[in-house]
């Protein structure tokens, strides 16, 4: 009688083990083994692994079936993987699992033999019944059918450590800021800009020992040069675009900005030379505004002209706070009264907060990636190589997004209480962005040239993004070429074609100009799509999320709301008007708490390129992972070296500080 040694690896997180009965059945080319109880003295399935010997004649093992039965109480169990050592000491077979065992599961070898296809089909039918599409709001990406995180299957929920940390950190931040509100008098305005320092008690910048911090922002936020720097390397570095010709609705005359120009040049010359740039917040125009505690909030739709000065760097030179000017419309200039110019910049940064949080962060990372996540769970079986490649980069996406919809952006969420676009304006803003969203704009090697910013100096976000894109695309292409020998193989993979149809036709519905086909024809098309997904869920999310406390904790730099309308008289702007316009004590405390909670480093973070779940067991696949990790190490060293000696460091895209998936 032949003997097969089976090793079952239990998860390492808290409560991964079980006291229920676990049975194993091996299915091979020559038949299947008896249903064997995995029973050793003591608690079998605590953190770690157990082994059992199965005497039988099976030939090559194709499938491992695991079953769980209740002992006293139902107790879920997380299985990492199963290994089977055949008789005679042949190569050990590994069956990745990485799932919670609630009922029965079957883990297969990466194979497509006829006797296994039925199992793959049944797995997908079960998944499609479990993971269903729903339209959360009209004209935005579709999402998982779950009202709250409690409705999600166990396999896509936080583990206990993650859930505890997530909930306790938010409670801690809100509690501390609540104490501050009581200490400073709830709901009133500040009297002076220095008053905002009174909410800097214990919460400090979570930016991993970076020189950049909320304190640095507090000291330099009034400077034009710092304003320009944030357009390049702040939490929303995708807005700036080259201005080849002044917009018709932004009537800046050359003499208005001549004092901001370098000696011997003019606005016309700098436009032709490619040194004039534009921030255009037309997407904010006409949005309905929020009402907070019975008081109407205000919104502007600014245009801001910037100049790449040879000595001073990128600086703002003209600001208009509305999209439809008339004869009385103000154009704010650096030569204006200092408080008028400062307030105009605050209005631009206020629009920046709305666009950054709701569009660059929420829509273009979280909601876009949820489409990939749901389609992957619905259409690709666990043995599919693309599922194995995608799974580590989709970890926790669904629970994070469910929590975000209920806690932040729902009609009862936190944004409704503190953000000027909270409520109806938030949905309309997202719908406007979704309408013009394109697949091309999600690809960094197209995005920067399309915006005309490829030559902007000190644009660290651009430089680091492109390095990471190339590393990710090289890694993904290697994996795709390993499992697909030709374009024909891609075309004939029915599961893969169902996956792309689910993405383009179900997830990104109502988006005729998105530019993503509903069929994959080449390996390069597949490689690019996978690279986009991984880049967004890692590097792009890190760029927009991880620095938000640094940029937003000093509330005057990036206010979440404005309580007075834009000024109509430059000379009338005084400190009393500014303080009446900025968020009050309550709103400021809430802004600080939210950005600290969302931007802090996660204790369970898995860096980009690190895979704690070993879905790939093949030697060549492991070599590609090793090569990817080596390339990321080179990028890390380059970024560290580049930042040495800089007063203002940009370290948000260090590979070691980019999470492998969206987990916050």
Element (H, E) at 276: strand 276-280
Segment (H or E) for 219: helix 214-220
Q: Which of 224, 318, 227, 226 is nearest to 271 (CA)?
A: 318
Q: Is residue 645 marked as binding? A: no
Residue 366 annotated as binding site: yes
40 is in an annotated binding site: yes
- Give Cα 126 to chain centroid, integer Å: 28
CB 653 within 8 A of CB 504: no
The Cβ of residue 506 has, within 10 Å, a number of other Cβ atoms equal to 16
Q: How many residues does the chain have?
A: 664
**Residue 135 CB coordination number (10 Å):** 13
Compute the distance between CA of residue 493 and CA of residue 243 in angstroms, rounded to an integer.
45
Alpha carbon distance 393, 467 (integer Å)? 19
Nearest to 295 by CA among 568, 663, 565, 522: 565
CB 139 within 8 A of CB 435: yes
Tokens 């409670």 -> residue: 171
Is the Cα torsion angle 281, 286, 287, 290 positive or negative in sign? Answer: positive
Phi/psi for 486 (5° steps) reads -155, 170
Q: Where are the alpha helices (DSSP H) in 323-420?
A: 338-355, 368-379, 385-390, 397-403, 414-418
Would you say 283 is a known binding-site residue?
Answer: no
119's tokens: 């199992």
CA proximity to 221, closest of 346, 96, 55, 404: 346
Residue 384 token pair: 């599919």
Q: Is 17 annotated as a binding residue?
A: yes
Rounded to the nearest angstrom, the gap between the alpha carbon of residue 340 and the centroid of all alpha carbons in its chain is: 36
How many angstroms separate the Cα of 455 from the Cα of each of 235, 280, 317, 590, 635? 20, 20, 20, 38, 20
Q: Is 110 helix (H, G, I), strand (E, B) or coil?
A: coil
CA dist., res. 25 & res. 20, Å (int): 17
Residue 561 in contact with residue 420, Cβ under 8 Å?
yes
Supply the DSSP string of 286-337, one letter for each residue.
TPPPPEETTEE-B----EEEEEEETTTEEEEEEEES-SS--TT--EE-TTS-
Distance between CA 576 and CA 580 in Å, rounded? 6
Structure tokens at 483: 């499992």
CA angle 519-520-525, nearest 5°?
140
Cβ neighbour number for residue 79 with a 10 Å cutoff: 25
Lookup: tokens for 459:
């644009």
User: Is residue 445 marked as binding?
Assistant: no
Does 664 belong to an annotated binding site? Answer: yes
Binding-site residues for Fe cation, please? 361, 366, 541, 664
Binding-site residues, please? 17, 39-40, 75, 361, 366, 541, 664
Binding-site residues for Ca(2+), please? 17, 39-40, 75
């Amino acid at each position: 009688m032949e003997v097969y040694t089976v090793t079952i690896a239990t998860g390492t997180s808290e409560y991964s083990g079980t006291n229920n009965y676990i049975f194993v059945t091996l299915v091979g080319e020559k038949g299947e083994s008896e249903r064997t109880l995995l029973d050793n003295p003591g608690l079998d399935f605590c953190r770690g692994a157990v082994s059992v010997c199965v005497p039988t004649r099976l030939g090559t093992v194709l499938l491992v079936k695991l079953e769980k039965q209740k002992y006293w109480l139902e107790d879920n169990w997380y299985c990492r993987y199963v290994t089977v050592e055949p008789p005679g000491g042949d190569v050990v077979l590994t069956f990745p699992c990485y799932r919670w065992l609630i009922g029965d599961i079957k883990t297969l070898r990466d194979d497509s033999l006829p006797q296994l296809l039925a199992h793959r089909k049944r797995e997908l039918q079960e998944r499609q019944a479990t993971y269903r599409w729903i339209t959360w709001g009209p004209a935005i990406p579709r999402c998982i059918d779950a009202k709250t995180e409690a409705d999600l299957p166990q396999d896509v929920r936080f583990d206990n450590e993650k859930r505890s940390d997530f909930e306790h950190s938010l409670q801690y931040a809100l509690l501390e800021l609540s104490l501050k509100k009581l200490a400073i008098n709830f709901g009133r305005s500040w009297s002076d800009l220095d008053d905002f320092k009174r909410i800097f008690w214990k919460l400090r910048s979570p930016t991993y020992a970076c020189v950049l911090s909320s304190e640095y922002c507090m000291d330099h936020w009034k400077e034009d040069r710092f304003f320009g720097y944030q357009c390049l390397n702040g939490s929303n570095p995708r807005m700036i675009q080259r201005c080849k010709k002044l917009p018709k609705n932004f009537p800046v005359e050359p003499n208005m900005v001549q004092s901001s120009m370098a000696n011997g040049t003019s606005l016309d010359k700098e436009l032709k030379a490619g040194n004039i740039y534009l921030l255009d917040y037309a997407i904010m125009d006409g949005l309905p505004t929020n009402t907070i505690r019975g008081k109407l909030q205000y919104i502007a739709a600014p245009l801001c002209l910037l100049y790449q000065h040879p000595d001073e760097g990128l600086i703002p030179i003209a600001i208009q706070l509305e999209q439809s000017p008339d004869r009385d419309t103000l154009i704010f200039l650096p030569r204006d009264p200092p408080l008028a110019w400062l307030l105009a910049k605050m209005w631009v940064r206020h629009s920046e907060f709305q666009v950054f949080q709701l569009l660059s962060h929420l829509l273009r990372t979280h909601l876009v990636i949820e489409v990939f996540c749901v389609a992957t769970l619905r259409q690709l079986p666990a043995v599919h190589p693309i599922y194995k490649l995608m799974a580590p980069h989709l970890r926790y996406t669904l629970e994070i997004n469910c929590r975000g919809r209920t806690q932040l952006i729902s009609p009862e969420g936190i944004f409704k209480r503190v953000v000027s676009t909270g409520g109806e304006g938030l949905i309309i803003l997202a719908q406007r962005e979704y309408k013009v969203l394109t697949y091309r704009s999600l690809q960094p090697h197209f995005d920067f040239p399309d915006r005309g910013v490829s030559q902007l100096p000190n644009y660290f976000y651009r430089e680091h993004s492109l390095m990471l894109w190339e590393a990710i695309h090289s890694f993904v292409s290697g994996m795709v070429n390993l499992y697909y020998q030709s374009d024909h193989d891609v075309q004939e993979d029915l599961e893969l074609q169902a996956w792309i149809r689910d993405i383009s036709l179900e997830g990104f519905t109502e988006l005729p100009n998105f530019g993503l086909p509903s069929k994959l024809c080449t390996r390069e098309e597949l490689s690019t799509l996978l690279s986009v997904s991984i880049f967004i869920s890692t590097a792009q999310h890190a760029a927009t999320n991880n620095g938000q406390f640094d940029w937003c904790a000093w509330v005057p730099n990036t206010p979440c709301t404005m309580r007075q309308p834009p000024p109509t008289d430059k000379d009338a702007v005084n400190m009393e008007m500014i303080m009446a316009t900025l968020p009050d004590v309550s709103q400021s405390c809430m802004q600080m708490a939210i950005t600290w909670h969302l931007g802090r480093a996660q204790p369970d973070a898995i860096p980009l390129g690190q895979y704690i779940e070993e879905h790939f067991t093949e030697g060549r696949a492991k070599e590609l992972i090793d090569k990817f990790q080596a390339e990321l190490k080179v990028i890390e060293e380059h970024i560290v070296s580049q930042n040495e000696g800089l007063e203002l460091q940009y370290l948000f895209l260090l590979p070691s500080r980019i999470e492998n998936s969206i987990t916050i």
